[in-house]
Amino acid sequence: MHQAMALTVSFNLLPRVLVCGRSRKYFEFLKPKRLYARGSRYFPTDQPPDNSESENKLHNNESNGQNPSHVECASKIIRESPKELLENAASFKEGLPANVPKDRMEDIWNSDPYPKNTNWKQSQAKHSISPARDPRDTSIILFPGQGTQFVGMGKELLQYPLVKQMFDLASSVLGYNLLSLCLDGPKETLNKTVFCQPAILVSSLACVEKLKATNPEAINSCIATAGFSVGEITALVFAKALTFENAVRLVKLRAEAMQFASDMTKSGMLTVFFGPNSKVNTACADARRHCEVLGLENIECKVANYLYPECKVIAGNIEVFGAFCNLYF
């Protein structure tokens, strides 16, 4: 959600959400409420915030043939159902104002997930081939990404069917004993990108085997799945869009490529929490320029992940993080 839009979403009946990974928590949304959002600030309440003055100003500007300002538009309440949100979902660029700098629009980290000329409007009715169900009787299964690994992962899952075979097959593809690495470490090795991504893939799918044994209804009632980063590939396996063996091969190649890129130069990632008026991209650009003034070459500092409102992850050279923090913190 971009910071200049106020959004009202009706959460009437939501499915259960299950997270397969280290934090296998079970969430249920039992009390329907409206979530009023203005910018990046959220107000869970049964009453909308008072926008009468701002909405009147917006109306007057429109009636005078003027285009309402970006800030004034932020006060307009837009009511969309979850279905409408899905149908209108595209990329964050679609909601950006016209004065967004060109370099931000072409940022490789912000590239569109769909081919050009894609029809963004996707009718959900066309995809609904199963009978209508009460959302409270359905589930959504999510899979984690890099950073959730820990020494000992998978130990409690070996008692469930197929888990040992999954680790054995993965080990034959990878060329090393994945189960031993997950159970015994060492931590420094497991934390490397080249090793932790396959470990997370297999361990997450092992959690699915546990779920099949302990709570099969969660599997049978699943209506959607998704994942974060390497978890996206795990979700594709769970959805039967990829075979397990092909997924291991893909993650092996992905992890090796990312490890190679990481080893080429000293680099890192930094989680940044910010307010609704912050300009993270501008901060990154200033940090790059500061390093260039110091005579450093091939400096990178860009947004790598959009975690949630008011939180992004930036990535770049180790040297640039010092400049970033000195300039803005």
- pLDDT tens-digit profile of 229-259? 999 999 999 999 999 999 999 999 999 999 9
CATH 3.40.366.10 positions along the chain are 138-263
Between 40 and 255, whose confidence is greater? 255
Distance of CA 247 to the CA centre of its chain: 20
Q: Label residue 13 by pLDDT band (50, 70, 90).
A: very low
Residue indicated by tokens 């307009």: 76
Burial class (CB in 10 A: 0-12, 13-18, 19+), 170: buried
Residue 319 near residue 300 (C-beta atoms within 8 A): no
pLDDT for position 125: 64
Mean pLDDT of 101-109: 50
Number of Cβ atoms within 10 Å of the Cβ of 218 = 19
Confidence at residue 239, expressed as pLDDT on a 0 to 100 scale: 95
Query: Over 70: is that where the pLDDT of 215 sits?
Result: yes
- Give 100-127 as a DSSP string: S-HHHHT-GGG--SS-TT------GGGG
Q: Is the pLDDT of residue 108 over 70?
A: no
Beta bridge partners of 45: 34
The CATH fold assigned to 138-263 is Malonyl-Coenzyme A Acyl Carrier Protein; domain 2 (3.40.366)
Residues of the chain with CATH 3.30.70.250: 266-328
Q: In this model, does residue 76 exceed pLDDT 70?
A: no
pLDDT (0 to 100) of residue 87: 55
Residue 104 has pLDDT above 80, yes or no: no
The pLDDT, as a whole number, for residue 282 is 86
**pLDDT interval class at 324 (50, 70, 90):** confident
Q: Is the pTM of this model over 0.85?
A: no
Confidence of residue 169 (pLDDT cuts 50, 70, 90): very high
pLDDT at 226 over 80: yes
Average pLDDT over residues 134-146: 92
Tell me what the pLDDT averaged over the chain comes to: 74
According to the model, what pLDDT value does residue 217 have?
Answer: 94
Which whole number is the average pLDDT over 274-285?
84
Sheet holding 41-45, edge to edge: 41-45, 33-38, 7-11, 78-80
Both structure tokens of 106: 């072409």
Q: For residues 296 and 196, which has the higher predicted lDDT (pLDDT)?
A: 196
**5-9, 90-94, 164-168, 292-296: range with lowest mean pLDDT:** 5-9
Residue 160 to residue 147: CA distance in whole angstroms: 24
State how far the Cα of 283 lies from the Cα of 66, in Å rounded to an integer.
33
Does 47 score more than 50 pLDDT?
no
* E-state strands within the chain: 7-11, 16-19, 26-27, 33-38, 41-45, 78-80, 139-143, 222-227, 267-273, 301-308, 311-317
How far, in Å, are 57, 114, 164 from residue 89 at the CA level?
Answer: 28, 12, 40
* C-alpha 17: how far from chain center: 15
15 vs 276, more confident: 276
Residue 176 has pLDDT above 70, yes or no: yes
Indicate the pLDDT class of residue 84, thresholds 50, 70 and 90: low
Residue at token pair 């980290």:
109
Q: What does the alpha-carbon distance between residue 125 and residue 127 come to, in Å, rounded to a whole number?
A: 5
- Per CATH, domain 266-328 is 3.40.50.10420: no
